[in-house]
C-alpha cells in the first residue's frame, strides 16, 4: 500500500539517499525534496515539510526508466490515482492545500496518514525525479533496479515457448525447433 504522511527511516535501512532532488507528479510543478531508496520501497520527503512525504512499495511501481525528454531524469509510473493530481481534480476531489481532501468535520489533518490502495482499474500516475547533479541519474536508476525486493513473477505456460540462454548459444537456423510443421 502506498503511504502519504510522515516519512522516517533508520539509517541502516537506507540503500540510497539524495537530498538534492526535484519531483514532479503528473503535470504538476517540480518540488524540492529528498529521495530515499530502501530494499522494499521508494520514499520522498518534501524540503521544509517536517518529514512529510510518501512511500511507494516496489511492487506498485509498474514502469521505471531514464527519461531524456527536456533533460535527463528518472521516470516512473504507478497504477493508482494520486491525490491532488490533475486526474483527481478532474474527478471532483478538492484538497485543503496539503494534499489531503477537505475534512467534513473540520479537523486538522496534520497528523493523519493517508493510504492509497491500488487496483487494476485505477488510472496511472506519472512521476519525474530530477537530481541537481545530472550525473546522479544513472546511480538512482541503478539503485531502483538493483535493491528492490520485487515479488517473483508467476511462471506461466508461455515460458515453455522461450529458449534458455544455453539453448540459444547452440541455435542453428536448420534446427528442427524452427521447422514449419
CATH, range 2-178: 2.30.29.30
Characterize 139-163 residue by residue with b for buried, 16 or more Cβ atoms within 10 angstroms of its Cβ, and e for exposed: ebbebbeeebeeeeeeeeeeeeeee
Indicate the pairing of strand 14-25 with strand 125-131: antiparallel
Per the CB < 8 A criterion, the answer to whether 127 and 79 are in contact is: no
175 band by pLDDT with thresholds 50, 70 and 90: low
> Residue 32: beta bridge partners?
22
The tens digit of pLDDT for each residue in 123-159 reads 889 999 999 999 999 999 999 998 655 555 444 445 5
Residue with the bigger pLDDT between 112 and 94: it is 112
pLDDT at 164: 53
Residue 46 scores a pLDDT above 60: yes
The stretch 108-126 carries a mean pLDDT of 65
Residue 173 scores a pLDDT above 80: no
Question: How large a percentage of the chain has pLDDT more than 90?
Answer: 36
pLDDT at 92: 36
Domain map (residue ranges) of the chain: 2-178
The tens digit of pLDDT for each residue in 3-12 reads 888 888 877 8
pLDDT at 115: 63
Cα 157 to Cα 175: distance, rounded to the nearest angstrom: 22
70 band by pLDDT with thresholds 50, 70 and 90: confident
Q: Phi and psi dihedrals of 33, rounded to 5?
A: 180, -165
Its pTM stands at: 0.65
- What is the SS3 assignment for 2? strand
The stretch 60-65 carries a mean pLDDT of 92
Amino acid at each position: 500500500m502506498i503511504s502519504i504522511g510522515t516519512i522516517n527511516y533508520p539509517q541502516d535501512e537506507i540503500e540510497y539517499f539524495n537530498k538534492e532532488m526535484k519531483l514532479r507528479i503528473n503535470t504538476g510543478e517540480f518540488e524540492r525534496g529528498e529521495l530515499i531508496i530502501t530494499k522494499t520501497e521508494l520514499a520522498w520527503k518534501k524540503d521544509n515539510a517536517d518529514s512529510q512525504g510518501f512511500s511507494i512499495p516496489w511492487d506498485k511501481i509498474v514502469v521505471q526508466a531514464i527519461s531524456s525528454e527536456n533533460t535527463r531524469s528518472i521516470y516512473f509510473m504507478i497504477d493508482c490515482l494520486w491525490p491532488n493530481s490533475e486526474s483527481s481534480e478532474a474527478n471532483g476531489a478538492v484538497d485543503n492545500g496539503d494534499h489531503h481532501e477537505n475534512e467534513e468535520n473540520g479537523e486538522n489533518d496534520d497528523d493523519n496518514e493517508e493510504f492509497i490502495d491500488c487496483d487494476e482499474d485505477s488510472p496511472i500516475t506519472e512521476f519525474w525525479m530530477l537530481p541537481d547533479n545530472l550525473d546522479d541519474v544513472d546511480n538512482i536508476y541503478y539503485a531502483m533496479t538493483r535493491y528492490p525486493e520485487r515479488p517473483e513473477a508467476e511462471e506461466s505456460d508461455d515460458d515453455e515457448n522461450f529458449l534458455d540462454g544455453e539453448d540459444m548459444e547452440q541455435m542453428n537456423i536448420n534446427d528442427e525447433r524452427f521447422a514449419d510443421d
